[in-house]
């Protein structure tokens, strides 16, 4: 009996059929077990953990469906310290049960950076550099110097800060900028109703320097708004670049700035001064 004749015997056909049946049964059993192990076809929705504190995570009813892992921290002054800032996967995603959720929390302290060297940069370049390092442009003081609009000094909290010194991100850096004597005159900006930060930014844009500051109504510098300025704003009036402008602040919770500004705008913005 040759090989091809053997393939036609009952013994071979019976054994072959049995092996096929057993193989199908084993394959079906393995697939069924894998489906149960991997939860194939089952999906759960990822809850939003953003803004929650770590001790609040366990209070969520659906958190047991996931494996939560804290992997990093970032500083963000706008968010509560210690809360969840970033999560992966994102809220609303469909994933399998027991999926890992990676969390990034808001650190309690800002990151630190090395103070850059701003000396001899223009004010525009210095501001861009500070933003790159995560720092803020603070008060700008103009001093007579041949180096027009160049940074002559950099300070932090009133003290000179050398390049390379470690400082917290978000810190405000004060700059001393050169202003050529007799280089020109500028329009004084309208500062009434502005916050301190807004007023400082406008003064810097107009090459002017902040003078005396007065706070009435026990106003806080962070929330106070400008009540009066000296020199006063007059449409068309020019003053020397680098001149100081003194400001008086009041608390917007105790003073109606909307009505006040309507009156002041009507009284001052229509007044013109002949060019000098």
Domains and CATH numbers, the chain: 44-106 (3.30.10.20), 112-268 (3.30.10.20)
Position 276 confidence tier, pLDDT thresholds 50, 70, 90: very low
Residue 272 has pLDDT above 50, yes or no: no
Residue 80 has pLDDT above 50, yes or no: yes
CB 179 within 8 A of CB 146: no
Q: What is the mean pLDDT of residues 89-101?
A: 87
Say what the pLDDT of residue 75 is: 77
Residue 225 has pLDDT above 90, yes or no: yes
Residue 5 has pLDDT above 90, yes or no: no
Say what the pLDDT of residue 4 is: 66
Say what the pLDDT of residue 83 is: 92
Say what the pLDDT of residue 274 is: 41
> For residue 246, what is the DSSP state?
E
Q: What is the mean pLDDT of residues 16-41?
A: 75
Residue 144 has pLDDT above 80, yes or no: no
Give residue-wise pLDDT tens across range 37-66: 555 556 888 899 999 998 888 888 788 888
Give residue-wise pLDDT tens across range 118-129: 999 998 899 899
Helix and strand counts by DSSP (H, E) for the chain: 6, 16
Say what the pLDDT of residue 264 is: 81
């Amino acid at each position: 009996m040759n090989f091809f004749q053997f393939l036609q015997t009952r013994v071979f056909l019976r054994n072959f059929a049995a092996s096929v049946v057993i193989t199908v049964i084993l394959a079906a059993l393995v697939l069924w077990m894998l489906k149960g192990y991997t939860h194939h076809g089952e999906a759960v929705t990822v809850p939003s953990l953003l803004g929650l504190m770590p001790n609040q995570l366990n209070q969520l009813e659906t958190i047991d469906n996931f494996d939560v892992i804290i992997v990093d921290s970032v500083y963000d002054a706008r968010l509560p310290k210690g809360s969840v800032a970033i999560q992966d996967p994102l809220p609303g995603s469909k994933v399998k049960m027991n999926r890992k959720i990676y969390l990034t929390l808001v650190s309690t302290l800002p990151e630190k950076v090395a103070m850059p060297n701003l000396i001899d940069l223009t004010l525009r370049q210095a501001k861009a550099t500070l933003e790159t390092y995560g720092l803020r442009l603070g008060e700008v003081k103009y001093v007579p110097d041949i180096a027009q609009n160049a940074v002559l000094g950099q300070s932090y909290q009133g003290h000179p800060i050398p390049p390379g010194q470690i400082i917290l991100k978000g810190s405000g850096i004060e700059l001393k900028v050169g202003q050529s004597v007799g280089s020109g005159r500028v329009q004084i900006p309208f500062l009434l109703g502005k916050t301190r930060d807004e007023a400082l930014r406008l003064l810097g844009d107009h090459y002017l320097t902040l003078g005396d500051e007065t706070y009435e109504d026990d106003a806080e510098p962070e929330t106070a708004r400008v009540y009066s300025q000296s020199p006063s704003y007059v449409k068309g009036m020019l003053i020397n670049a680098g001149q100081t402008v003194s400001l008086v602040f009041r608390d917007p919770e105790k003073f109606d700035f909307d009505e006040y500004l309507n009156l002041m705008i009507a009284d001052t913005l229509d007044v013109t001064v002949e060019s000098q």
